[in-house]
Amino acid sequence: MDRRKFLKGSALLSGILTLSPFELFSSRNTICSNTIGRAKNIIFMVSDGMSLGTLSMTNLYSKNILGRESNWMNLYHEKKVVRALMDTASASSIVTDSAAASSAFGGGIRVKNGVLNMGPNGEKHLPIWQKFKKAGKKAGCVTTVTITHATPAGFCVNSEKRNAEPQIAEMYADLEIDVLMGGGDEFFNPETREDKKDLYTAYQKKGYQILKNNADLKNLKPGTKTLGIFSTGALPYSIDRTHLSEFKNTPTLADMAKTAIDQMKDHANGFVLQIEGGKVDWSAHANDVAALIHDQIAFDEAVKVAVDFAEKDGNTLVIITTDHGNANPGTIYGNDATKNFNSISDYKYTNEYILNKIHKEYSSKDVKDWIYEGNKIVLNDDEARQILGFYNGLEKEEGLYNYKKLPFKLYSEIQKKHNSVGWISMDHSGDYVEVAAYGPGSEYVQPFIKNTDLHDVMLKASHI
């Protein structure tokens, strides 16, 4: 053996072995960077407020009750994606809100909770969908909450207040975002806006077609700018849409995602699309397990739409993640844990729907009968009286999306005895969260990242 070649090879091997796994992975990416494909299109998916427990329980429910693996977890099993953990902190806290989290993705910098792409001295960071629009791509956002809510807004606009939703609705029109779908009629309708501006007419003058229901979604003009506003406030929870006839004409997240892709896919310069399962977060705030699991399933169906398109297209980067955890739900050890968890399949409605139907005129028997109809749970007399205490003004419960002071926490504690699901809080958490990336540019995703890194991944993947 040539001694010089042996020593040279030994030195190289020694150098490689001294690298940390992170450095070794980074080195691989550097070596391959010249051969990484270019992403013509980007689909960025956010299951808002999805703790790891939400992903786990939804996959468990999908396997136990629906007889199949969730689409997200199947991507892991089939080794189709690059997977990472992500730190979600904001500039002002280790626990972010959705505005700061979306600004990290959209503006590429951490900002204080409550603002959209605005620095501490009022400096504006150009949102990424504007960057892509300037590069000649089409851009869109779809969500199950108001289209002007923090997560879609963080990809598109600058605002000192995330709650400036009437103004954000106007900003979208000025920017001419190509596809906008979700809820929020109150921010476009002259009858409900304080300034009485008719934004629907303003959008039509800019060439938008206006969609109001599922039938409109199926009869739209291809390639035309689209504003789809399907409800006042957020869209209904998925499980309520399934069981309540008044919601039958509301599109699903997968419906909106497919339509948005179809509207933009033939554009010569490509497109960028954000897809948000916004009510995963709202259900976690309410500790509402049926709402949570079924809206995560709805998000998972949208994942399939996006990945199926990307597989066929070959030029699309799909990023699947969340902006932060919320309430950290999880299954609890016990002899009947599996049976208890599977009983969630008996739930017909969300806790929000069930608790809104109870009135102070109800007797304990009325409460017990209604709870059994909605969840197949048999309450005892003390539990029924406790619930009624909230409607008689004896007790009140706070919460971000609990405007009517409904007893969400109390009821989730009652449910826990029957479904073996517990919650640590009713608010956001600072946990590291899951990221999955498929397609050209996914190689840029490192094993552990900050939320701002995904901004850079999108820019690098598209070569702009």
Per-residue pLDDT of the chain (464 residues; tens, 9 = 90+): 444 444 444 444 444 344 444 343 343 343 233 336 799 999 999 999 999 999 999 999 999 999 999 999 999 999 999 999 999 999 999 999 999 999 999 999 999 999 999 999 999 999 999 999 999 999 999 999 999 999 999 999 999 999 999 999 999 999 999 999 999 999 999 999 999 999 999 999 999 999 999 999 988 999 999 999 999 999 999 999 999 999 999 999 999 999 999 999 999 999 999 999 999 999 999 999 999 999 999 999 999 999 999 999 999 999 999 999 999 999 999 999 999 999 999 999 999 999 999 998 999 999 999 999 999 999 999 999 999 998 987 566 666 666 668 899 999 999 999 999 999 999 999 999 999 999 999 999 999 999 999 999 999 999 98
Contact 57, 283 (CB under 8 A): no
Output the six-digit token pair for 29: 């990416």
Write down the pLDDT at residue 132. 98
Q: Looking at residue 457, what is its pLDDT? A: 98
Name the residue among 375, 284, 303 with its Cα closest to residue 57.
Answer: 284
d(CA 324, CA 313): 30
> Are β-strands 421-422 and 82-87 bridged in parallel, bridged antiparallel, or unpaired?
unpaired
- DSSP code at position 451: T
Residues flagged as binding site for Zn(2+): 48, 281, 285, 323-324, 428
Question: What is the rounded CA–CA span in Å between residue 324 and residue 139?
Answer: 24
- Whether residue 98 lies in the annotated active site: yes
User: Smallest Cα–Cα separation from 165: which of 179, 175, 152, 181?
Assistant: 152
pTM: 0.91
pLDDT at 405: 80
What is the reported pLDDT for 3?
Answer: 44
Cα distance between residue 156 and residue 127, in whole Å:
5
Query: For residues 347 and 296, what is the distance between their CA atoms, to the nearest angstrom?
Result: 16
Domains of the chain plus CATH, in order, are 3-35 (no CATH), 41-329+429-462 (3.40.720.10), 342-422 (no CATH)
Cα–Cα distances in Å, from 94 out to 89, 101, 160, 450?
A: 4, 11, 20, 12
Is residue 144 within 8 A of residue 251, CB to CB? The reply is no
Q: Are 250 and 236 in contact (CB under 8 A)?
A: yes
Length of the chain: 464
pLDDT at 19: 42
Q: What is the C-alpha separation between 447 and 460, in angstroms, rounded?
A: 17
Task: State the binding site for Mg(2+).
Answer: 48, 149, 151, 276
156 residue type, one letter: C
At residue 428, the 3 state secondary structure works out as: strand
CA distance linking residue 249 with residue 241, whole number of Å: 9
Residue pair 105/449 in contact (Cβ under 8 Å)? The answer is no
State the catalytic residue, choosing from 47, 98, 412, 420.
Answer: 98
Residue 377 — φ and ψ, nearest 5°? -105, 135
pLDDT of residue 162: 95
**Residues 255, 301 contacting (CB under 8 angstroms):** no
Query: What is the structure's pLDDT at 62?
Result: 98
The pLDDT score that the predictor gives to residue 356 is 94
Tokens of 118: 């605005």
Distances (CA, A) of 187 to 115, 216, 245: 19, 20, 25
Neighbouring-strand partners of residue 101: none
